[in-house]
Structure 1
Amino acid sequence: METRSQWGTRAGFILAAVGSAVGLGNIWRFPATAYENGGGAFLIPYLFALLTAGIPILIMEFTMGHKYRGSAPLTFKRIHKKSEFVGWWAVLVSFVISTYYAVIIAWAMSYSVFSFNLNWGEDTASFLIGDYLNRTVDPGQVGSFVPGVLIPLIIVWILVLGILFKGVKKGIEIANRIFIPALLIIFLIIVIRAVTLPGAVDGLEAFFKPDFSKILEPGVWVAAYGQIFFSLSIAFAIMITYSSYLPKKSDITNNAFITGFGNSSFELLAGIGVFGILGFMAAQSGVPVDKVVDGGVGLAFIVFPQIINQFPAFNELFGFLFFASLVLAGLTSLMSITETYVAGLVDKFKISRTKAVLFGGGLAAIISLLFATQGGLFFLDAADYFINQFGVALLGLVEVVLIAWVFRKLKEFQTHANEISDIRLGSWWTISVGFITPIVLGYMMFGLLKQNIMKEFDTDTGNYEGYQDAFIMWGGWAVAIGALVIGVIMAMTKWKATSASSEMEQKKEAK
């Protein structure tokens, strides 16, 4: 009889789920998104989105994994045999993301070392693009490997795959028990230092000052739902996979609330820390706070090194702590992303976990080498944009429509969750998943498709980031479409019978 791996404790599962949700985007995406969409007023649509999309979908995915006891492909197959491709699509999206996500963690690892001597100098933008990434080729060209990226990238994969080899309870759970408390302690130190800097009050005022006129704009609500959706690791196959390792008696609804609010609390903490530091930079530069606000890679690897240079004391220590926090946040997310396809391979082909980690994780590690080349930043930028916008968001829309309207599983899932949870689900949950989320995601996808397809025919606006048509086609669209196509192909392959060796390893892991 096949025995599935299990978490050792409820706290272990929650830490792993929170660790998956809390990633690089919490630190560099949320603060800028909130500021650009009404500051303190943005918290209103953000909280509404959390309660009507984030937590409801978390509950749905926790219930799916717990009820059907399988990876995303196996779970969707057990819901309906024709929906297995959705599970593989989600796994392939996670696979693509893992290949470039590991590289960003490698950058943060390098920068944590650079912090000791402030190696980035005064011109941090030139250092990142020229000295560190050595980007001397055009978009679409690969160039040679960059040793400063390649070496830490190898270290990242050795760490992550080594943890996954150990399994769920002895690997992922133990790692999160160490990484998440360490991340929280480090980030609290960063925030305390940030809010005591000269000018920090101005930064915090800019962050929290509400512009209530903004919340009347549809785009702000779309931004709130987008932030919740992308930051909670939903529609990545992650939460389905993680919840499949839960014991039969598990409080699904409570776990979802704790995970959702835990993730949002860290985002708010990140916003306070980031804007306290941006306020300091604005004061030092003699410019308004809005002149120094940035998001994404630019905030982490260009703006923050500039700020660290200007710190009145302990510049090196603060730099190390900041980039160490990025490494920890990234590793916990990368573990969860990689586990999705490890679990999918184990379930589908009945191979041992060791073989699944070697094959799935090894293939991802090899492909990730592309992003450690001179042209890697261009490939990373295109793949990230298209796989997130037309992989994750579209996948989420398909998932909720299938569950709510095609297979009509909401009542069944509601009953399952209510039987084992303290907080009972009512009409709030079914309305959120069945109506609000599909409408908002549908509106988002319509806007994104219109925006990107029209660029193909508009000579004035051009493609995303001005990239050439050929590069956008093969570096962006092909990546997003390829995840779906390969997902369909994987769903068409036959399921293998359980081998004695894989069954023995699964029993050993479950103990």
Structure 2
Amino acid sequence: MSKDKNEWGSNLSFIFAMIGSAVGLGNIWRYPYVLYSNGGGAFYIPYIVAIFLMAIPFLILEYGVGYNFKSSFAKAVRKISPKWEFIGWFLPVSVFIIMIYYSAILGWDGIYVILSLFKGWGADPNAYFTTSLLQASDSYMGLTNFIPLIAVSMIVGWVIIWFISHRDLEKGLGRVSKILVPLLFIIMLIIVGFSLTLPGAYIGLSELFHPDWSLLYNFDIWMAAFGQIIFSLSLGMSIAFTYASYTRDDADLITNTISIAFANSLFENFSALGVFSILGYMSLQTSVPVADLVTQGTGLVFIAYPTVFNVLGNWAYILGPLFFFTVYLAGLTSILSTIEPLSFSIQNKFALSRKKTMSILIIVGAIISMIYATSFGSTILGYVDMFINQIAILFGVILECIVFAWIFKAEKLIDFLNSKSKTIKLGKWWLLIVKYILPTFVSIIWVGGMIDVLEGASVQQLIFTVIVCALLLGVTLLFTILPAKNLDWDDIKERT
């Protein structure tokens, strides 16, 4: 069995690592758009409800079960019920797939960190990103066109990830999280502070926060809020479970949950201030309404922002590198968390060291990720992202609720968690949420996601979705049926 020390050196390491996992690309490029397009200020009502009704209760459940077993996700699920071991591998493998395509976005951003020093995207950022850099193609024949610049940038990212991840937990991820997370917040504070001083910032902010109260009667706004919280805090991805299994015995998991949820919410709302202040400035300079400038995803990061920097003057040479470096740090902290669940599960079952497991996974991930360094790569990324986030992960959350809340029996955690909590105390209200309300809401979101994929997908997208699904299920099945090499695989002690 591996003798690696998979334990945080302090509670602070755990908190910073979890904040780093939560605070990622979704906070910067997804949340501002979701907030704006779902009623502006009115969105805060379902958003706050989602935090208290879903985020905090579910994170407490994941943390509680993770701390209880002090093992990998797959091993714990097997202990709860051997017939559910498949789910114990399904979620870590799904999250590893996210890591692979996140590495492509990290690679793109690494290129833009350099480009921002001299506005290397030129006068037409849209043309540069889609045509010059990605050489984007909607045809599968684009797989034959390899783009060396993207590949090299991605490999640099993989090397950084390996350098941090293959070390003992505290010496690698723990130490780096305590540096990167505060740095991430400081840089974002500088960016937002500067953005608020731009002429026209008020235009963007007034657009952002202008409440459309009528949308509160629309079920979609509530689903958008719950979906954002799931996406933003990585709920049900087995990351929180794995990180909690590394915690020390004196951890106050309930208080930690509240701190992490608050920090994540603070960061994404602060990011929204910066995004819309800059869009307001751009609207003033170009006379284009903010509504026509708002976008999400890669369009916001790699097209809208460079367009703004082009009209920002010399300040862009300061703000631009700061922004893209912030995105890089956010992507890095997120990616570092996505390898942990699968790595720890493999270490537990196959008696491999952390260093060897991480090295193998990163080599495999880097090789697979090269598909995104082709002209068809950005198209595949969109297909995979939609399948993993709208179908696979949500399905996993539902199953995780069943396994943890019902089969394991969440009520076993209440006395233990309350004994260490310095804030709120759990009771029947918590059981009601994790056993009934959460599975119901997430099931509704999952059905909606399935409908969106099936109704809006092209034949080509459906084919690739089936391929990714088959690969996910196949790899999950392989890990499940392979015989354990670790004699302790079925030997696990509960703490409650």
Q: TM-score range by the shorter chain?
A: over 0.9
1:37 and 2:38 equivalent?
yes
Structure 1 position 401, deviation (Å): 2.5
Secondary structure class of the residue paired with 1:369: helix
Q: In 2, are the aligned partners of 1:140 and 1:475 still within 8 Å (CA)? A: no
Q: Which amino acid aligns with 1:120?
A: W
Q: In 2, are the aligned partners of 1:139 and 1:378 still within 8 Å (CA)? A: no
Structure 1 position 260, deviation (Å): 0.8
Query: Which structure 2 residues correspond to residues 41-56 of structure 1 after superposition, within 5 A?
Result: 41-56=42-57
Give the percent of matched residue pairs that are identical in Structure 1 and Structure 2: 35
Q: Which amino acid aligns with 2:476?
A: G
The separation in 2 between residues aligned to 1:49 and 1:371, in whole angstroms, is 34
Partner residue of 1:301?
302
The answer for unaligned runs of 5 or more in structure 1 is 456-462, 500-511
Count, aligned residues: 486
The separation in 1 between residues aligned to 2:15 and 2:187, in whole angstroms, is 20
Query: Which structure 2 residues correspond to residues 253-272 of structure 1 after superposition, within 5 A?
Result: 253-272=254-273
Q: Which amino acid aligns with 2:311?
A: Q
The separation in 2 between residues aligned to 1:104 and 1:205, in whole angstroms, is 31
The separation in 2 between residues aligned to 1:149 and 1:249, in whole angstroms, is 45
Query: Which structure 2 residues correspond to residues 62-141 of structure 1 after superposition, within 5 A?
Result: 62-136=63-137, 138-139=139-140, 141=142
Q: In 2, are the aligned partners of 1:160 and 1:331 still within 8 Å (CA)? A: yes
Range with greater deviation from structure 2 (287-296 or 443-452): 443-452
Secondary structure class of the residue paired with 1:8: coil
Q: Say if 1:128 and 1:2 are closer, same or farther in 2 by CA, change over 3 A.
A: closer
Q: Which amino acid aligns with 2:435?
A: G
Partner residue of 1:415?
415
Q: In 1, are the aligned partners of 2:107 and 2:157 still within 8 Å (CA)? A: yes
Q: In 2, are the aligned partners of 1:140 and 1:379 still within 8 Å (CA)? A: no
Partner residue of 2:477?
488
The separation in 1 between residues aligned to 2:426 and 2:67, in whole angstroms, is 16
Partner residue of 2:405?
404
Q: In 2, are the aligned partners of 1:22 and 1:231 still within 8 Å (CA)? A: yes
Q: In 2, are the aligned partners of 1:349 and 1:495 still within 8 Å (CA)? A: yes
1:158 and 2:147 equivalent?
no
Secondary structure class of the residue paired with 2:143: coil
Structure 1 position 408, deviation (Å): 5.3
Structure 1 position 39, deviation (Å): 0.3
1:431 and 2:424 equivalent?
no
Structure 1 position 136, deviation (Å): 4.9
Range with greater deviation from structure 2 (152-161 or 140-149): 140-149
Q: In 2, are the aligned partners of 1:140 and 1:378 still within 8 Å (CA)? A: no
Partner residue of 1:479?
468
Secondary structure class of the residue paired with 1:117: coil
Partner residue of 1:459?
none
Q: In 2, are the aligned partners of 1:390 and 1:480 still within 8 Å (CA)? A: no
Structure 1 position 472, deviation (Å): 1.9
Give deviations 1:396-434, integer Å, cap 9, x for gaps: 1121133233x1512012233223222321233212212
Query: Which structure 2 residues correspond to residues 342-381 of structure 1 after superposition, within 5 A?
Result: 342-381=343-382
Partner residue of 1:248?
249
1:7 and 2:5 equivalent?
no
Q: Which amino acid aligns with 1:21?
A: A
Partner residue of 2:188?
187
Q: In 2, are the aligned partners of 1:149 and 1:372 still within 8 Å (CA)? A: yes
Partner residue of 2:493?
none
Q: In 1, are the aligned partners of 2:195 and 2:274 still within 8 Å (CA)? A: yes
Q: Which amino acid aligns with 2:419?
A: E
The separation in 1 between residues aligned to 2:21 and 2:10, in whole angstroms, is 17
Q: Which amino acid aligns with 1:154?
A: I
Give deviations 1:155-186, integer Å, cap 9, x for gaps: 10000011011121000011111111111111
Range with greater deviation from structure 2 (98-107 or 69-78): 69-78
Partner residue of 1:497?
486
Query: Which structure 2 residues correspond to residues 437-452 of structure 1 after superposition, within 5 A?
Result: 437-452=438-453
Secondary structure class of the residue paired with 2:314: coil
Structure 1 position 481, deviation (Å): 4.5
Secondary structure class of the residue paired with 2:339: helix
Q: Which amino acid aligns with 2:22?
A: A
The separation in 2 between residues aligned to 1:447 and 1:41, in whole angstroms, is 22
Q: In 2, are the aligned partners of 1:386 and 1:477 still within 8 Å (CA)? A: no
Q: In 1, are the aligned partners of 2:77 and 2:403 still within 8 Å (CA)? A: no
1:217 and 2:218 equivalent?
yes
